[in-house]
Amino acid sequence: MNAYCEPRPVLFQPTDRADIQHLLTCEGEEQQALFQAARAARQAAGMDAVKLRGVIELSNYCQKTCDYCAIRPQNKEMIRYRMDADAILAITAEIVAEGITTVFLQSGQDPKSDAIVLEAIPRIRQADVNVLLNLGEKSRAMYARYVEAGADSYILKFETSDPVMYQNIVGTPLAKRLECARWIKEVGMKLGTGNIIGLPDQTLDTLVDDILLAQELQPDFVSSSPFIPNENTPLENLGVGDLQLTLNSIAICRLLFPHALIPAVSALEKIKKGGQLMGLNAGANVLTINFTPKDFRDKYAIYSKERFVVSLDHAHATIAAAGLRPRQAAQPVQSVSSCS
């Protein structure tokens, strides 16, 4: 290695809240150095290969009343749907055919989809792929049943670490959410968590606390997403979340969680063309490709009706532009056609 080839990246290692706060707002050359350090940390951890997930949004029924989300029950404009296990399996076959090895089942918090998910998981697992869930707050027993069925990971974002903000915006206690996060780990699943950047009353201090809370939870996956105003919600007139803050938060998370899966979420692309590439350049290493059929997808309006829908082509182009490669399957995956 020739020491004169490239300047050494500045070694950033935030150790306290003052460091995190400073890095959250850094700009210009310092921000570029932060991103470079995040990429170096990702590479040193062997986490440069970009993980692709295929998401199926299986139900837009939801019990939660989150002020930012259009699938809240108060939104009577929303036409509701719930897929059955056969529909989920048909879409799984498309995901598997693309060589994607994580099937991501996402839904509003909808108790009526529990039985469907429990039926679908073992059938999906026959294709030798991982099952990642994002279905909201459940009982500890239900999380354990998902594991028995074959799920291995679960995303439950805390959204904000401020208990007052959380209660005001989400309508239920943060403590309940955190208890669920603990249960998810206790029953043996990997945990994904994270925040939304740009919520009302959020301060820089809150965002530092978000990162510290993520550290306490020791997640396997962590995300920061910019807030997207959503039609027919109480926050429809709020501005979008700040892109630079979100990118800095992603980079800080990479430094603090070098081995984590960190997504460049579709909301980044929604607020800026090329936003997901910026996410990868800030240290992210996951892209989620949407396999929800169009009819349903249009009704799963978590990021507004005109959300950015990530296609396989967009994902591959973004990965190539970042100078990275998609993560290869450890072994060839079996066809899902045998699953019934």
Q: Which residues contact 115 (CB under 8 A, 6 or more apart)?
A: none
Contact between 104 and ligand 5AD per CB under 6 A: no
Q: What are 293's two structure tokens?
A: 């059929």
SS3 readout for the chain = CCCCCCCCCCCCCCCCHHHHHHHHCCCHHHHHHHHHHHHHHHHHCCCCCEEEEEEEEEECCCCCCCCCCCCCCCCCCCCCCECCHHHHHHHHHHHHHCCCCEEEEEECCCHHHHHHHHHHHHHHHCCCCEEEEECCCCCHHHHHHHHHHCCCEEECCCECCCHHHHHHHHCCCHHHHHHHHHHHHHCCCEEEEEEEECCCCCCHHHHHHHHHHHHHHCCCEEEEEECCCCCCCCCCCCCCCCHHHHHHHHHHHHHHCCCCECECCHHHHHHCCCHHHHHHHCCCCEEEEECCCHHHHCCCCCCCCCCCCCCHHHHHHHHHHCCCCECCCCCCCCCHHHCC
Binding mask 67-86 for ligand 5AD (x = CB under 6 A): -xx-----------------
Q: What are 86's two structure tokens?
A: 């056969």
**Contact (Cβ atoms closer than 8 angstroms) between residue 136 and residue 103:** no
Selected binder of ligand 5AD within 36, 92, 224, 230 (CB under 6 A): 230
Contact between 166 and ligand 5AD per CB under 6 A: no
Contact between 267 and ligand 5AD per CB under 6 A: yes
Q: Which residues contact 214 (CB under 8 A, 6 or more apart)?
A: 158, 193, 194, 195, 222, 253, 256, 257
Contact between 243 and ligand 5AD per CB under 6 A: no
Nearer to ligand 5AD among residue 21 and residue 134 (C-beta): 134
Nearer to ligand 5AD among residue 126 and residue 134 (C-beta): 134
Count of residues engaged in binding ligand 5AD, rule: CB under 6 A: 13
Min dist. Cβ of residue 221 to ligand 5AD (A) = 12
Nearer to ligand 5AD among residue 86 and residue 179 (C-beta): 179
Min dist. Cβ of residue 226 to ligand 5AD (A) = 7
Selected binder of ligand 5AD within 57, 110, 159, 210 (CB under 6 A): 159
Q: Please identify, among the stretches 122-130, 138-146, 222-230, 320-328, the one whose residues bind ligand 5AD according to the rule CB under 6 A.
A: 222-230
Nearest to 286 by CA among 138, 132, 111: 132
Of residues 181 through 200, those in contact with ligand 5AD by CB under 6 A are 196
Contact between 303 and ligand 5AD per CB under 6 A: yes
Contact between 158 and ligand 5AD per CB under 6 A: no
Q: Please identify, among the stretches 119-127, 169-177, 220-228, 289-297, the one whose residues bind ligand 5AD according to the rule CB under 6 A.
A: 220-228
Contact between 132 and ligand 5AD per CB under 6 A: no
Contact between 178 and ligand 5AD per CB under 6 A: no
Nearer to ligand 5AD among residue 12 and residue 159 (C-beta): 159
Binding mask 33-72 for ligand 5AD (x = CB under 6 A): -----------------------------------xx---
Q: Please identify, among the stretches 146-154, 227-235, 282-290, 317-325, the one whose residues bind ligand 5AD according to the rule CB under 6 A.
A: 227-235
Q: Please identify, among the stretches 7-15, 139-147, 226-234, 284-292, the one whose residues bind ligand 5AD according to the rule CB under 6 A.
A: 226-234
Q: Which residues bind ligand 5AD (CB under 6 A)?
A: 68-69, 134, 157, 159, 196, 225, 227-228, 230, 267, 302-303
